[in-house]
């Protein structure tokens, strides 16, 4: 248990930012998780909002739980498709079908299980123990470039770079219909679907998290007698299911998307191509190295199941 007292200079400061300065050994994402889970109290009251603003002379108590042996994640060996690696970070080409984190029904065979074997446990100490080295995510059935921090410094810097929109992410996506105009921007907030908590949806009432998606059409083509558009998509924000939700909201869903797509066409598509995934690939990430500041442009080769479509 760790205690702090706020002063006049802390008035208005966010709780998570205050704690990241006071407990530098813990990453900000881990501190945010501790706050959400109720391990932080202000003046004896449990606070679960990382963005809570502080007042003067508040007592803040942080309890850092130990990870009990029975809750420790299993370490598993697996071959990782590595695009780039140095002492600070690596970039993987994540295959579709790979779950990122252990959860209900997925305690083994996740990316986390594999990273626990691959990464140096001392180097990633004090990053999020449930998501070691992971600084962003890809949906289970989305493939492509994924960045991993191998050290605490690289991990924290990458998280900040994503938050500050300093990392350019470009996807390749196949959507239903002839998308016009051939270049544009979708800008609408995203919230959790009130009717299905496993899904997200757009909002037009100003609520939800700001989300911006830019696109340009690479090619219009016909697939199984259905007009489709092959797109390059840039994410200016990183919301859960953002690309899938945004294009579904303008009636051009991602081909093969089981949650936001066209179920009738998806059944035909699945039967013809034997594919059970959305046609969405994290193709390129461009950024300055989190430690050396060297400019990197990393691309993920298309997986074989997308190459056989013949439209990429």
CATH classification (class only), 168-278: alpha beta
Distance CA 45, CA 221 (A): 58
Q: Which of 88, 128, 139, 257 is catalytic?
A: 139
pTM to 2 decimal places: 0.80
pLDDT tens track for 163-217: 899 999 999 999 999 999 999 999 999 998 988 888 999 987 777 889 999 999 9
pLDDT grade for 125, boundaries at 50, 70 and 90: confident
State the average pLDDT over residues 102-110.
Answer: 80
Which CATH number is correct for 73-163, 3.30.2350.10, 3.40.50.620, 1.20.120.330, 3.90.700.10? 3.30.2350.10
Question: Side-chain half-sphere of 241: how many Cα atoms within 13 Å?
Answer: 23
pLDDT grade for 69, boundaries at 50, 70 and 90: very low
Average pLDDT of the residues of the chain: 92
Hey, CA dihedral for 107, 121, 93, 177, is it positive or negative? positive
pLDDT tens track for 262-311: 999 999 999 999 998 999 999 999 999 999 999 999 999 999 999 988 87
Q: Tell me, yes or no, if 117 is annotated catalytic.
A: no
Would you call 285 exposed, middle or buried from its count of C-beta atoms within 10 A (0-12, 13-18, 19+)?
A: buried
**With contact defined as beta carbons under 8 Å apart, do 276 and 284 qualify?**
no
**With contact defined as beta carbons under 8 Å apart, do 60 and 4 qualify?**
yes
> According to the model, what pLDDT value does residue 71 have?
55
> According to the model, what pLDDT value does residue 302 have?
95
**Alpha helices by DSSP H, the chain:** 15-22, 28-36, 111-118, 152-163, 242-249, 263-273, 304-307
**With contact defined as beta carbons under 8 Å apart, do 210 and 188 qualify?**
no
Q: Is the pLDDT of residue 113 over 90?
A: yes
Q: Yes or no: is domain 2-62 CATH 3.30.43.10?
A: no
> According to the model, what pLDDT value does residue 68 have?
45
> According to the model, what pLDDT value does residue 234 have?
97
More confident residue, 285 or 128: 285
Question: Domain spans of the chain?
Answer: 2-62, 73-163, 168-278
More confident residue, 272 or 69: 272
Q: Is the pLDDT of residue 86 over 50?
A: yes
Question: Are domains 2-62 and 73-163 of this chain identical in fold?
Answer: no
pLDDT tens track for 131-151: 899 999 999 999 999 999 999
């Amino acid at each position: 248990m760790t205690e702090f007292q706020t002063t006049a200079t802390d008035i208005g400061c966010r709780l998570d930012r205050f704690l990241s300065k006071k407990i530098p050994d813990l990453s900000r994402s881990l501190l945010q998780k501790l706050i959400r889970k109720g391990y932080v109290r202000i003046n004896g009251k449990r606070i679960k909002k990382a963005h809570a603003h502080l007042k003067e002379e508040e007592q803040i108590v942080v309890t850092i739980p130990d990870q009990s042996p029975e809750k420790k994640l299993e370490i598993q060996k697996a071959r990782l498709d590595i695009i780039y690696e140095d002492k600070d970070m690596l970039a993987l080409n994540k295959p579709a079908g790979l779950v990122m984190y252990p959860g209900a029904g997925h305690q083994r065979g996740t990316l986390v299980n594999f990273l626990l074997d691959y990464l140096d446990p001392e180097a990633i100490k004090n990053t999020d123990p449930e998501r070691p080295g992971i600084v962003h995510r890809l949906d289970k059935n989305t493939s492509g470039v994924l960045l991993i921090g191998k050290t605490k410094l690289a991990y924290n810097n990458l998280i900040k770079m994503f938050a500050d929109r300093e990392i350019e992410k470009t996807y390749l996506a196949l959507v239903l219909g002839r998308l016009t105009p051939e270049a544009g921007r979708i800008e609408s907030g995203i919230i959790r679907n009130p009717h299905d908590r496993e899904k997200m949806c757009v909002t037009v009432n100003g609520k939800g998290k700001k989300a911006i998606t830019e696109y340009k059409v690479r090619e219009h083509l016909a697939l199984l007698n259905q007009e489709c558009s092959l797109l390059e998509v840039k994410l200016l924000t990183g919301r859960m299911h953002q690309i899938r939700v945004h294009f579904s909201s303008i009636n051009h869903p991602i081909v093969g998307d089981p949650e936001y797509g066209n179920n009738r066409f998806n059944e035909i598509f699945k039967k013809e191509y034997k594919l059970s995934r959305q046609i969405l690939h994290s193709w390129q990430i461009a950024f300055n190295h989190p430690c050396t500041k060297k400019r990197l442009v990393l691309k993920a080769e298309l997986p074989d199941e997308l190459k056989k479509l013949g439209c990429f």
